[in-house]
Amino acid sequence: MISISKRAQAIQPFHVMKLLARAKELEAQGKHIIHMEVGEPDFNTPQPIVDAGMTAIRKGDVHYTAPMGLPALRKAIAQFYLQQFQLTISPERIVVTPGASGALLLALAAIVEAGQSVIMADPGYPCNRNFVSLLEGQNQLVNVDADTQFQLNKALVEQHWRENTAAVLLASPSNPTGTIIAEKTLNEIIGFVEQKQAAVLVDEIYQGLVYDTLPYTALSLSNNIFIINSFSKYFSMTGWRIGWLVVPEAFIPVVDNLAQNIFLAAPTPAQHAALAAFNPETIEILEQRRREFKQRRDFLLKALPKLGFTIPVKPDGAFYIYVNCEALTDNSFQFAEQCLEQAGVAITPGIDFGNNKAEKYIRFAYTTSLDNLKKAIERLEQFISDFGK
Amino acid sequence: MISISKRAQAIQPFHVMKLLARAKELEAQGKHIIHMEVGEPDFNTPQPIVDAGMTAIRKGDVHYTAPMGLPALRKAIAQFYLQQFQLTISPERIVVTPGASGALLLALAAIVEAGQSVIMADPGYPCNRNFVSLLEGQNQLVNVDADTQFQLNKALVEQHWRENTAAVLLASPSNPTGTIIAEKTLNEIIGFVEQKQAAVLVDEIYQGLVYDTLPYTALSLSNNIFIINSFSKYFSMTGWRIGWLVVPEAFIPVVDNLAQNIFLAAPTPAQHAALAAFNPETIEILEQRRREFKQRRDFLLKALPKLGFTIPVKPDGAFYIYVNCEALTDNSFQFAEQCLEQAGVAITPGIDFGNNKAEKYIRFAYTTSLDNLKKAIERLEQFISDFGK
């Protein structure tokens, strides 16, 4: 028998995968399932992006690009920072990556030495930890709650700082909570970490999906941080696998080398398609969708508390609501299982985002139509009134 | 200043990148450059594959797939093993990956513990080493030469075996030498490594590009090995970023978890496009191209020795000839630089493939038309007659 590496053994499958498999079985039996577990927009890729991708493919533009990406796309992303945030970011600092996954791996590989630790919030996006483990780094999960908007702050970072901490990873808006980190808090963290000569990484993949404020980038505060972004969520390009990374000036050569070696380059059709992502015509489509996401969020923010869920913090963005379900159950995974079986509503249990009181939390994704959400709430009402009887 | 990780600092850029940059400058000045440095087919993606990709995009099939890939594509790859090699491989064992890069990272992450070593041939494909470094493993480069067809054999593996060796990585046909590993040799290596309870990985990305024999897979010899393959080379799908990995049965769950976490899934448009890769219509196009590659190889095999290069072993496949240039120079990198400047022919110096007498070797890629190759030979003849004068 060939040994399986410890790091591979340590990775847990997402619990929601088990629910998804069961949902498929139920669907195969003809049962109607409302999917509120999926971290993927229900919208198709906007037509201008699709058209740009198809044109490139038709023209045979499907060869390797440079490892850092198409120069035109790196320029377009720089232009996006200028237009949206009045920031001048050199295209040289922008790396086009195969999704945010590629960006995270690249950034962490450039920063984290074996044995060094990365501070991140719990609850948080679970893959982050596994990138750190892949590089033989250590995860320092820091429990966060409603008191800090489920975000880290300087006091928490300082309190958990170790001699060997290499980086702090933030996400704003966050998955699963949808909260954004306050500019002041972010600035304080950056100041502290810079003084420690360590790195701040900010995952901004839900940047464009905010509902009560304007989009924001941590690049406004410092050029000496790493920004992870993606065309998947706001731009509805999930399966194309394309994102980007902004690095400090000094990291350009090493990140170029790493990109060449780790993934060669992001998919070429996706890069050409993404050239149309910032067109006014595309943005108009995306802004319409953003307004629809807001409607869905606002509907759930009213409906879920009536069912007995507590919403500890109003989510600012993304397409998730992270609810406390302890008034209804002390086992959110079991609750999710039964909810699927009996109500035909698929949701994600807290355990998929960490260990911090995970059994008391559930994530609702509003990546399905308002009609479906309304149906889901009706079904949940019935289910909850039967639950535990 | 944020520290750059040791692993990132240790990665050298490919020397050929410097030559490529210079080639672009020369081209911008109006000079005609013949590119014999590129590891990418000059052919476009076959039309049936392009059509399948465009149809999928038009239909909106651009959402995430399952982490292991589209079930239909995994089945199609299993079917390919059945038809081409009369092997029954369960689709469960096949993982669709973002290029062979994704496959290599996945396989090594599942096998190699920090501090463990991987044995591989020098000269060899340089990125392999960097994947091992990424995982904090150790590279054990073993010098190979014409005596063993530039391949490892059991004696070499045994001689270099250490207590902590986790795997042996082979490539057949190999880059840069184009040689295939003899079935008997491969079988002996597999037997030895299995007895050590370690892993054999075989990179078969040039599998379909063989010119004197039928394509071959190491899967014929064992189900307990890892096979890396790709749609990039034989199938001319480089920029789409799609490949695959075949794993032993026992590794299916961990590889599924790793894939979910490391890259989520291979690009969806590429996966749909690749469904057309095994169509008879596509294969007809590809076999025509293979015959053209053979013509190019055969032309160079005759022409290069007349210029003073020695071809230590006739390449069986891929689209490379690895030549010894010591009769002409003792510095192949400088030779390549001058060759570009004076002859307008871009070639890859041995240093990009390792340290084993690298200064005496050059790789010629025949990824350009026969006409261009003829022109290149004329220019090289002139250059060499002037060289060193």
pLDDT tens string, chain A, 389 residues long: the values are 899 999 999 988 888 888 888 998 999 999 999 999 988 999 999 999 999 999 999 999 999 999 999 999 999 999 999 999 999 999 999 999 999 999 999 999 999 999 999 999 999 999 999 999 999 999 999 999 999 999 999 999 999 999 999 999 999 999 999 999 999 999 999 999 999 999 999 999 999 999 999 999 999 999 999 999 999 999 999 999 999 999 999 999 999 999 999 999 999 999 999 999 999 999 999 999 999 999 999 999 999 999 999 999 999 999 999 999 999 999 999 999 999 999 999 999 999 999 999 999 999 999 999 999 999 999 999 999 987 65
Cα end-to-end span (Å), chain B: 49
Query: Are the beta carbons of A64 and B251 separated by less than 8 Å?
Result: no
Under CATH, domain B6-44+281-384 is a member of which superfamily?
Aspartate Aminotransferase, domain 1 (3.90.1150.10)
Within this chain, domains A6-44+281-384 and A51-279 share the same CATH topology: no
Query: Are the beta carbons of B13 and A60 separated by less than 8 Å?
Result: no
Query: Are the beta carbons of B13 and A256 separated by less than 8 Å?
Result: yes
The Cα–Cα gap between B348 and A171 comes to: 42
Instruction: Give the 3-state secondary structure of chain A.
Output: CCCCCHHHHHCCCCHHHHHHHHHHHHHHCCCCCEECCCCCCCCCCCHHHHHHHHHHHHCCCCCCCCCCCCHHHHHHHHHHHHHHHCCCCCHHHEEEECHHHHHHHHHHHHHCCCCCEEEEEECCCCHHHHHHHHCCCEEEEEECCHHHCCCCCHHHHHHHCCCCEEEEEEECCCCCCCCCCCHHHHHHHHHHHHHCCCEEEEECCCCCCECCCCCCCHHHCCCCCEEEEECCCCCCCHHHCCEEEECCHHHHHHHHHHHHHHCCCCCHHHHHHHCCCCCHHHHHHHHHHHHHHHHHHHHHHHHHHHCCCECCCCCCECCEEEEECCCCCCCHHHHHHHHHHHHCEECEEHHHHCCCCHHHEEEEECCCCHHHHHHHHHHHHHHHHHCCC
Strands A348-349 and B199-203, sheet pairing: unpaired
Coil vs helix vs strand at B214: coil
Is residue B99 a contact partner of residue B245, using CB atoms and an 8 Å limit? no
The model carries a pTM of 0.96
Nearest CA in chain B to A11: B257
The Cα–Cα gap between A300 and B68 comes to: 33
Nearest to A238 among B63, B105, B135 (CB): B63
A110 CB neighbours in chain B (<8 A) are 4-5, 8
Nearest CA in chain A to B62: A239
What are the pLDDT digits (tens) for A122-181?
Answer: 999 999 999 999 999 999 999 999 999 999 999 999 999 999 999 999 999 999 999 999
Task: Tell me the shortest Cα–Cα distance from A322 to chain B, in angstroms.
Answer: 22
Nearest CA in chain A to B44: A60
Is residue A351 a contact partner of residue A332, using CB atoms and an 8 Å limit? yes
**Which class for A234: exposed (0-12), middle (13-18), buried (19 or more C-beta within 10 A)?**
buried
Task: Tell me the shortest Cα–Cα distance from A361 to chain B, in angstroms.
Answer: 22
Coil vs helix vs strand at B58: helix
The Cα–Cα gap between A233 and A243 comes to: 10
Q: Where are the domains of chain A?
A: 6-44+281-384, 51-279
What are the pLDDT digits (tens) for A81-117?
Answer: 999 999 999 999 999 999 999 999 999 999 999 999 9
The Cα–Cα gap between A180 and A216 comes to: 9
Number of Cβ pairs closer than 8 Å across A and B?
A: 229
Q: Which two tokens stand for residue B162?
A: 């250490």
The candidate with the shortest Cα–Cα distance to A41, out of A307, A379, A387, A288, is A288
Coil vs helix vs strand at B29: coil
Which site among A62, A96, A197, A231 would you substitute to test the B interface, given the most B Cβ atoms closer than 10 Å to its Cβ? A62
Whole-number pLDDT of residue B388: 61
The candidate with the shortest Cα–Cα distance to A143, out of A374, A389, A3, A353, is A353
Nearest CA in chain B to A233: B63
Which residues neighbour A200 within 8 Å (Cβ) at sequence distance 6 or greater?
Answer: A167, A168, A170, A189, A190, A193, A194, A218, A222, A225, A226
pLDDT by residue for chain B (389 residues), tens only, comes to 899 999 999 988 888 888 888 998 999 999 999 999 988 999 999 999 999 999 999 999 999 999 999 999 999 999 999 999 999 999 999 999 999 999 999 999 999 999 999 999 999 999 999 999 999 999 999 999 999 999 999 999 999 999 999 999 999 999 999 999 999 999 999 999 999 999 999 999 999 999 999 999 999 999 999 999 999 999 999 999 999 999 999 999 999 999 999 999 999 999 999 999 999 999 999 999 999 999 999 999 999 999 999 999 999 999 999 999 999 999 999 999 999 999 999 999 999 999 999 999 999 999 999 999 999 999 999 999 987 65
Which site among B42, B45, B57 would you substitute to test the A interface, given the most A Cβ atoms closer than 10 Å to its Cβ? B57
Q: Which two tokens stand for residue B191?
A: 């037997």
Number of helical H runs and strand E runs in chain B: 13, 12
CATH of domain A51-279: 3.40.640.10
Query: Are the beta carbons of B8 and A105 separated by less than 8 Å?
Result: no
Q: How many C-beta atoms surround the C-beta of residue A203 within 10 A?
A: 27
Query: Are the beta carbons of A254 and B4 separated by less than 8 Å?
Result: yes
Long-range contacts: A379-383, Cβ < 8 Å, 24+? Answer: A379/A34, A379/A343, A379/A344, A379/A345, A380/A307, A380/A339, A380/A343, A380/A345, A381/A307, A382/A343, A383/A338, A383/A339, A383/A342, A383/A343, A383/A345
**What is the CATH topology of the domain spanning B47-279?**
Aspartate Aminotransferase; domain 2 (3.40.640)
B98 CB neighbours in chain A (<8 A) are 98, 241, 263, 267
